[in-house]
Chains A and B, each alone.
Chain A
């Protein structure tokens, strides 16, 4: 099953909330994980692993550094989901 952009933002918001304690409504497409949402490089790994499980997608280490904003992550998953 392919996820829609809306479902991905909602899912990522829940993940970021769970891992970094950021309110779900703050997690929006244009938000930077590090600068706006206070997700540091190690928490980002936790977000990525949780997203992999939830959205059934593989996000290799070398691609993680390119996911600067929530929108980057959503686009990546849209493009790579099974």
Chain B
């Protein structure tokens, strides 16, 4: 047996830069109301959402990711070629092969980094961040680009009054790099596959060419509907608020801090009601800034946490060096929470 030389990584990791991209088109609730019987007041009271961004055909998953990544890389102060791995979390890139991460890596000028996509729904950013930290500490990459990107408008049933208003498009990216002191805490993550029906795509893609339309959803005109994301609202709400508050607390405990030590709370921007109830359940102190980007960005799944982080920093509501609790949760069901220092 030969002796194998191990890789040598950095002692710890940190987020060095964050960037976001929101599509140019802002969609107010009035547009959503063209296809559902509801009201602006109802949508706002149930979700806190006033507007969301919808991508144009040109604002592809790749294009949005490249924009967000450029900002994150510039803020990190590194050259694109220094990136050793690109991790893209998305559920709305419809060309599954090859992974979109490779195209993004090429377009940002990163050379030949490891590049791959992950599917972890609205917990995708936390999953990607955890992988990045692992790679840096283990030594397989010095800098890792983590991207959360979605075009959920492509997976929205605009005739479903429970979800039509919920989703938005956008991309958020962070550069994770080496650090001499810990700036990313332990991740508390997991999955609950017994609740896989709670949030899901209505039908799998391969049903479309199976020749049997009996299982496919139809609209009022009898035409086959494109797959969309559907959810059991009450069950999701209960799980997100009460179970995820426990996970958030575990992440604080694992990082060795209390809610009093926090400056910022960045939960997945699922719904303002979930955010408000989580804050109440967690008994967060008044001084903690809470991300409420969902109001004008909607629910952008894997992109929501980096987008919210970028906006808090850009608007001065949070500052570099602040201690933030981030928690993502969604389809799977899956979840990931950790404490980070903001870049």
- Chain A residues in contact with chain B, CB under 8 A? 40-42, 44-46, 48-49, 61, 64-65
Contacts and interface: CB of A to CB of B under 8 A. Distances in A.
B232 A42 contact: no
B46 A61 contact: no
A19 to B, nearest CB: 10
A13 B315 CA distance: 42
Interface stretch (B21-29, B85-93, B233-241, B323-331): B233-241
A40 B238 contact: no
B179 interface: no
Contacts of A64: 234
B38 interface: no
B232 A41 contact: no
Contacts, number: 27
B234 A40 contact: no
A41 B45 contact: no
Nearest to A44: B234
B163 interface: no
27 contacts: A40-B45, A40-B46, A41-B46, A41-B233, A41-B234, A42-B46, A42-B233, A42-B234, A42-B237, A42-B273, A44-B234, A45-B234, A45-B237, A45-B238, A45-B241, A46-B241, A46-B277, A48-B238, A49-B238, A49-B241, A49-B242, A61-B232, A61-B234, A61-B235, A61-B238, A64-B234, A65-B234
The listed residue with most A CB atoms (<10 A of its CB), out of B46, B234, B241, B273, is: B234
Interface string B230-268: 001111011001100000000000000000000000000
Given A40-B45, A48-B238, 17 more contacts: A40-B46, A41-B46, A41-B233, A41-B234, A42-B46, A42-B233, A42-B234, A45-B237, A45-B238, A45-B241, A46-B241, A46-B277, A49-B238, A61-B232, A61-B234, A64-B234, A65-B234
A75 B225 CA distance: 41
Interface in B48-88: none
B295 to A, nearest CB: 16
A52 to B, nearest CB: 10
The listed residue with most B CB atoms (<10 A of its CB), out of A40, A48, A49, A61, is: A61
Nearest to A46: B277
Nearest to B234: A45
B282 to A, nearest CB: 14
Contacts of B232: 61
A43 B56 CA distance: 36
A41 B237 CA distance: 10
Contacts of B237: 42, 45
The 8 closest A-B pairs by CB, nearest first: A61-B235, A45-B238, A45-B237, A42-B273, A42-B237, A45-B234, A49-B242, A41-B234
Nearest to B242: A49
A40 B273 CA distance: 11
A65 B233 CA distance: 11
A41 B238 CA distance: 11
A64 B242 CA distance: 16
A42 B233 CA distance: 8
The listed residue with most B CB atoms (<10 A of its CB), out of A41, A42, A48, is: A42
Interface in B264-278: 273, 277
A64 to B, nearest CB: 6
Contacts of A65: 234
Contacts of A46: 241, 277
Contacts of A40: 45-46
Contacts of A61: 232, 234-235, 238
A56 to B, nearest CB: 16
A41 B46 CA distance: 9
A48 B241 CA distance: 13
